[in-house]
Amino acid sequence: GLLYAMKGEIESMLTEDTPLLQEKAGVSFYRIREDIIACCGGVGKVNAAMATQLFIDLYRPDLILNVGVAGCFEDLPIGTLVLPDRFMQHDMDTSAVGDPVGLISGINMIELPADTKIADELDRVCAAANVNHRLGVIASGDQFVHTTERRVWIVSTFNASAVEMEAAAIAQVCFVNKIPFAAIRVISDEASGDVKIDYMTFVKAAAATSSDIALRWLRARA
């Protein structure tokens, strides 16, 4: 199962003939190949969690790969691919009642791991395709991060390499359903300053790079 957030991100995966399997609760499911279903679940943690649970209940995928773009917290050029080994939710905060910042209620975890086998395979596919990539921590939250203050806070609290709005929610749903999960995120902006200009300019190309790596990986596994 491939899980995207936005139409602009999933676009490069679809052709005119790609069958739309169904739309449920605003989430569209497409058949990409006999053994691959992709879905476009919407932006943010709630949409992502809803789409992930629907995906699992409807199609019981062997694994879920989240594909998309991210804002960068390091000195990485736009277009760099980040393969997360861990995910956290930067806006989860019950510290006022004594919890550590980022603790996810119910599962009592701050960090959710990526499936190491999938992450290793993706790492090898990126290297073989000569795609500039690095491993790192992804911080997810319901904010398009664009201020230096927020960026500095997330980096110092979670040591994150990149930020986006869904992966850690998908990781949580996969974790409780025991579905292997990994993500590919390509940098579309620097999460500060002119984010809108960078994001609008680079989102499609960045999303196409992540889909390309996903397809290469799927081909290698077929």
Catalytic site positions? 9, 189
Smallest separation (angstroms) from ligand ADE to the CB of 70? 5
* Cβ proximity to ligand ADE, 31 vs 146, nearer residue: 146
Two structure tokens written together for 113: 């791991």
Q: Are 121 and 221 in contact (CB under 8 A)?
A: yes
Q: Smaller CB distance to ligand ADE: residue 85 or 164?
A: 164
Nearest to ligand ADE of 37, 52 (CB atom): 52
Q: Are 165 and 43 in contact (CB under 8 A)?
A: yes
Taking the complex as a whole, how short is the minimal distance between the CB of residue 19 and ligand ADE, in angstroms?
28
- Sequence-distant (6+) residues with CB within 8 A of 34 are none
Which residue's Cβ lies closest to ligand ADE?
Answer: 71
Where along the sequence are the contacts to ligand ADE (CB under 6 A)? 69-71, 144-146, 163-165, 188-189, 191, 195, 199
Taking the complex as a whole, how short is the minimal distance between the CB of residue 69 and ligand ADE, in angstroms?
5
> How many other C-beta atoms can be found within 10 angstroms of the C-beta atom of residue 133?
21
Do residues 27 and 39 lie in contact, with contact meaning Cβ atoms separated by under 8 Å? yes
Choose between 35 and 194: whose C-beta lies nearer to ligand ADE: 194
Strands 64-72 and 27-33, sheet pairing: unpaired
Q: Closest separation between CB of residue 71 and ligand ADE, Å? A: 3
Please answer whether residues 171 and 53 qualify as being in contact, where contact means their C-beta atoms are separated by less than 8 angstroms. no
Q: Read off φ and ψ for residue 93, nearest 5 degrees.
A: -150, 100
